[in-house]
Chains A and B, each alone.
Chain A
Amino acid sequence: MEDYKYLFKIVLIGNAGVGKTCLVRRFAQGVFPNVQGATIGVDFMIKSLMVNDVKVKLQIWDTAGQERFRSITQSYYRSAHCLILVYDVFSQCSFDSLPQWCRDIDQYAGAAIAGNGRNVLKVLVGNKCDKDREVPLHIAEQFAHNNNFDLFMETSALEAENVEKLFREIAEILVSRNQESNGGTMSRSITSNSFNQSSKPSNCFNCFSN
């Protein structure tokens, strides 16, 4: 019945209101939700992709509102392959919270991938890049670089900009990591090369390419 080769768990975190749910919905359903609080009853969404002729299922988890008072259950991070930390480019405040989120990632996500000896893929996303910005691109790039993010992108869930690309790149990295580890090598530099092959629009870069 299940015909996919890989299933990856992707977890979104970040301040309330930065558009995490909209990103997921835009990607998984191709829509932009206009009703706040639509998260109720929705846990995670699943979307399948083809990556190099391999069928990949992405299971994308949303915070269920527990980020509002910074009370996300530790178990939320368990067995995640990828963490997407989202801020709002229009909100300096959401950017200023990033260090705190990074501490949470270090504390909980380390244990999340116990056993397979690999760090969880860390992705930084500046959402709402359709608006005027408060957070300059180069500041965010610097932050992503300094905090060892594997990938950084600016997206607009509203205009569907870079959303598909974001998840596709994540899927590609995860697949290539898996194929590497099956082949017995687990080198990050190889992974980063696969980044470089993809074409880069102006507001999208990968931390390792510089």
Chain B
Amino acid sequence: MEPGFEDEYDLVVIGTGLTESIVATACSRIGKKVLHLDPNDYYGDLWTSFTFPQLDDWARRHVQLAGGKNLPDNGSQHQQQQQFQSQHNHDQNNPSEKVNNQTSNIGISLSKVNLTAGEMVYPWESGINLISNVEPVSYMINEAPEKQDLDKATEEEEEDVEEADDETEPWTFEKLSTERNWGIDLVPRLLYSRGAMVNLLVSSNICRYLSFRSIERILSCLPGTDELMDVPCTRQDIFNDSYTSLIEKRVLMRFIQLCLELERRPDLIEGFEGFEEQPFIEYLRSKGFTPLLQHLVLNSIAMVDPTTPTQEAMEQLKRFVSSSGRFGNTPFLFPFYGCGEIPQAFCRLCAVFGGTYCLKRTIDGVVAKDDVINSIIVGSQQIKCQNLVCSLSNVPKSLLVPRQVTNISRAIFISSGSVKDSQCAGSLLRFPGPFPILVVESSWASLIAPKGIFVIYAWCDSFTGNAKEDLLPIARKLFNFESGDEMNGKPKLLWSCFYNQATVDCSSITDKYQNLYVTSPPVNELDYDVAIEEAKSIFDTLLPDEEFLPRAPDHDEIVIEGTQTNQEIDLD
């Protein structure tokens, strides 16, 4: 028989996504008793890193849930989902089995539940689906036999390209599936090396569970072309750059110098006077920035729009410059094994401080009196808890107040080459526009894919409502879709998946229970600032007088008491 949970916890958390995991860890760290559950059989919820077979399963399951064909191809498009879908929790391994379990468990537990006066039992239905328009496509030979002839025809042309690679055997779907070294993110991020997440990981000492690789380069797509250039980030780079003229180099150098000063002296506005509220582009024009420099500063360094007020752009510049040169050429880090390691690192610390973890488990019901949840029901167990924290997808739809949903378009591309000639790149690339698109390239060098494989992520706020429509034009700029045009130097695409992910600000999204807190799904951001802010704000509400994630001691700082060397001790 499986061991049971304890009868009482200070905090119960459902979902092991990042925000919930930070809250759970912060509470456990200062001595609260935490029970942390997740209906999935993996950590991280949407913040997870998948193996290739897991990702393929996940994609196919969503295609099926949406009523699509078993083996999707280009044809299956679905209406944009601006409202919550009330489907079963999509990330279940076996949704139908789970539902059966729930009903029968509720049946058992209802007869056993201990109710005091005024208490009522409410079943906890499975939550809402945040994922839509999922379209996985394989471009590999064994998946599309009809393309084989085409490939053969171009084989001779390919030869010199192929020989340069270590990998001579072509990648097939099966070969990708049997590889185990994967960490493909559903919600990829980069960390500013002096950003909020790095600072939190260092100050809490959770960084000991993680290791990072610095992103080697920032790329920029030259306006009007498909050509990618390396953005010069350091003095040396600027000096060596072949795209910029001597005058441009000088302007850029002086500008970086100014940004560095800004970092050291935050009150300094010299040179920016009068432009604070003006669009940043006006400032750049007035200082003699050429169109190329404007493009680089806007999209690759400040990562803002031309119309962004100069004051705001300066904040972004400071962020960039202050993180530069800490660990590498660029200001950015990417975790080894994928971003899914980050929520797990928090969960690990939570467990080290006594948090109880159980995957493939969620609550079946709550016992509440008026607007206060007194206990939860898990299987046949009734567990008292003071507070309940749930990720949005684990909260019954009936408890939510209507909210405007933001749709993020996302894409994952698996390729046998880098978007710009490199053996093991980590890159960041931003395509400007009314809905700017971020592209992050990661590779086997970050231990997220088998040797020779690159994983490229793209995302933006959706403007058409469909990820494929939003992101396909960018994909065409970056990759070879057809076998015929090998000569253009673009890498060959092996597999891709487009999907939309809904997000919504979940602060006060439910008013049913005063001790229920709902965490928001991932938003469209590069680092983790929003998630950390939200987790901290929930923690501060729960425990206003406690410190948020104080530094965890190292192993050699812990003095262990209660040891003895004698016998006759029963371990159990």
- Could you tell me which A residues sit within 8 Å of B by CB distance? 16-17, 19, 22, 25, 29-46, 64-66, 68-71, 73-76, 78, 107, 110-111, 114-115, 128, 158-159
* Chain B residues within 8 Å of A65, by CB: 351, 354, 356-357
Residue interface mask B534-572, A partner, CB < 8 A = 1: 000000000000000000110110101111111101011
Interface with A: B297-305, B340-348, B408-416, B521-529, which one? B340-348
Cβ-defined contact, B344 with A19, below 8 A: no
Q: Give the shortest distance, in Å, between A83 (CB) and chain B (any CB).
A: 15
Residues of B within 8 A of A16 (CB): 3
**A41 CA to B31 CA, complexed, in Å:** 10
Q: Is B563 within 8 A of A32, CB to CB? A: yes
B520 to chain A, nearest CB (A): 23
B358 lies within 8 A of A69 (CB): yes
- How many angstroms between the C-alpha atoms of A40 and B181 in the bound complex? 31
Q: A73 touching B347 by the CB < 8 A rule?
A: yes
User: Helix, strand, loop or mixed for chain B's interface?
Assistant: loop
Known: A41-B353, A41-B558, A74-B43. A34 touches B359 (CB 8 A): no
Distance in Å from the Cβ of B176 to the closest Cβ of chain A? 14
- Contact, CB under 8 Å: A31 / B565: yes
A75→B348 contact, CB < 8 A? yes
Q: Are B556 and A46 closer than 8 Å at their CB atoms?
A: yes
Q: Which residues of chain A have C-beta atoms less than 8 A from B359's C-beta?
A: 69-71
Tell me the number of A-to-B contacts counted with CB atoms below 8 Å: 110
Q: Which B residues are CB-close (under 8 A) to A43?
A: 208, 352, 555
Q: For B358, what are the chain A residues with a Cβ–Cβ distance below 8 Å?
A: 69, 71
B interface residues with partner A (beta carbon < 8 Å): 2-3, 42-43, 51, 180-183, 208-209, 336-337, 341, 344-345, 347-348, 351-354, 356-359, 361, 447, 552-553, 555-556, 558, 560-567, 569, 571-572
Quick check: B555 and A32 within 8 Å, CB to CB? no
* Contact status A40-B352, CB under 8 Å: yes
- What are 10 A-B contacts defined by CB distance under 8 Å? A29-B563, A32-B564, A33-B560, A41-B553, A42-B352, A65-B356, A66-B348, A69-B356, A107-B180, A110-B181
Q: B558 contacts which chain A residues (CB < 8 A)?
A: 41-42
CA distance A136 to B183 in the complex (A): 40
- The reply to whether A158 and B352 contact each other, CB–CB distance below 8 Å, is no
Q: How far is the CA of A185 from the CA of B181 in the complex (A)?
A: 23
CA distance A45 to B556 in the complex (A): 8
Q: Say yes or no: A46 contacts B555, CB within 8 Å.
A: yes
Q: Is the CB of B348 within 8 A of A64?
A: yes
Enumerate chain A residues within 8 angstroms of B552, measured Cβ to Cβ.
41
User: Mostly helix, strand, loop or mixed at chain A's interface?
Assistant: loop
CA gap between A74 and B359 in the complex, in Å = 12
User: Given the complex, which residues of A lie within 8 Å of B208, measured CB to CB?
Assistant: 43
CB proximity of B359 to chain A, nearest CB, Å: 4
**Option from B42, B183, B447 in Cβ contact (under 8 Å) with A115:** B447
Q: CB distance A111 to B181 under 8 Å?
A: yes
Select one of B2, B336, B353, B569 contacting A34, CB under 8 A.
B569
A19, B553: Cβ atoms closer than 8 Å: no
Please, which residues of chain B bring their CB within 8 A of the CB of A39?
Answer: 352
Q: Which residues of B contact A30 (CB under 8 A)?
A: 565
Contact yes or no, A78 B337, CB < 8 A: yes
Does A69 contact B560, Cβ atoms closer than 8 Å?
Answer: no
| 17 extra A-B contacts, CB within 8 A, seeds A33-B560, A69-B358, A73-B348 | A17-B571, A22-B571, A29-B560, A31-B564, A36-B571, A40-B352, A40-B354, A41-B352, A42-B555, A42-B558, A64-B348, A65-B357, A68-B357, A74-B43, A75-B43, A111-B180, A114-B181
Docked CA distance A22–B565 (Å): 11
Report the minimal beta-carbon distance from A47 to chain B, rounded to whole angstroms: 11
Q: Report the bound CA distance from A22 to B569 in whole Å.
A: 11
Task: Collect the chain B residues with CB atoms within 8 Å of residue A114's CB.
Answer: 181, 447
Is B357's CB under 8 angstroms from A75's CB?
no
Which of B347, B353, B555, B561: most chain A CB closer than 10 A? B555
Complex CA distance for A38 and B571, rounded to whole angstroms = 12
A33 close to B357 (CB less than 8 A)? no
Residues A159 and B563 in contact in the complex (CB < 8 Å), given A40-B352, A42-B558, A111-B182: no
Cα–Cα, bound, A158→B572 (Å): 13
Name the one of B354, B563, B565, B572 contacting A17, with C-beta atoms under 8 angstroms.
Answer: B572
Chain A residues within an 8 Å CB radius of B43: 73-75
Please give the distance in Å from A26's CB to the nearest CB on chain B: 9
- Residues of chain A lying within 8 A (CB to CB) of residue B51: 111
